[in-house]
Chain A
Amino acid sequence: GIQVEQSPPDLILQEGANSTLRCNFSDSVNNLQWFHQNPWGQLINLFYIPSGTKQNGRLSATTVATERYSLLYISSSQTTDSGVYFCAVLNRAISNFGNEKLTFGTGTRLTIIP
């Protein structure tokens, strides 16, 4: 199956700093999503971005599908940004039933220090 690698595994930053999280994947994808898991365990969908660039406030994401990676940018970090960020992908190159599986990376744990 498709492999998803995220880096760095851990990131500690001062409030106000910027950060870049990376997601590499081993095959072509037609679904890539970024999620934030807050300290209470809730998973929140941030971006659906199988290709291109999107922005939402202080967060933006870019996926270069031809080079099989995606980047999540967080600017002017706040303590509420702390948590684990997951990249998840789906490879539906095979269109028959049996390939509808969203595969998650192991995440980047972000800690923002006041």
Chain B
Amino acid sequence: NAGVTQTPKFQVLKTGQSMTLQCAQDMNHEYMSWYRQDPGMGLRLIHYSVGAGITDQGEVPNGYNVSRSTTEDFPLRLLSAAPSQTSVYFCASSYRPEARGYTFGSGTRLTVV
């Protein structure tokens, strides 16, 4: 049982490049979400999904796209990376938004130069 798996763990991008952060969970959780963590600002919600085919924006969605074609996977796409997107990104899952026991991935540290 791997829980929530995020890849890659580290990434350096040049301004304007695109990339996809991968997130996969094997717990059959319906709810998945992406957060970014910046110094002094806690975790801020980027996008979330309540099930396959259903996504919605969080607090800071600009510059990011998501899709949810399967229950297991919830990739986060940066279309044109900007230095302001330098951050640590976390993926999380749970059975329902109000459920106990959110499980977080180990994070992706992204630097945009």
A binding-site residues for B, Cβ under 8 Å? 1, 30-31, 33, 35, 41-45, 48, 86, 88, 90, 92, 97-98, 100-107
Query: Which residue of chain B has the shortest Cβ distance to A4 in the bound complex?
Result: B42
Place the interface of chain B in its size category: 20 to 34
Cα A90 to Cα B45 with chains together (Å): 12
B binding-site residues for A, Cβ under 8 Å? 31, 33, 35, 40-45, 48, 50, 54, 56, 58-59, 88, 90, 92, 97-104, 106-107
A100 with B101: in contact, given A86-B43, A106-B42, A107-B42 (CB under 8 Å)?
no
User: A92–B98 contact, CB under 8 A?
Assistant: yes
Cα A88 to Cα B35 with chains together (Å): 12
A33 with B50: in contact, given A97-B56, A106-B41 (CB under 8 Å)?
no
User: B45–A102 contact, CB under 8 A?
Assistant: yes
**Which B residues touch A45, using CB under 8 A?**
101-104
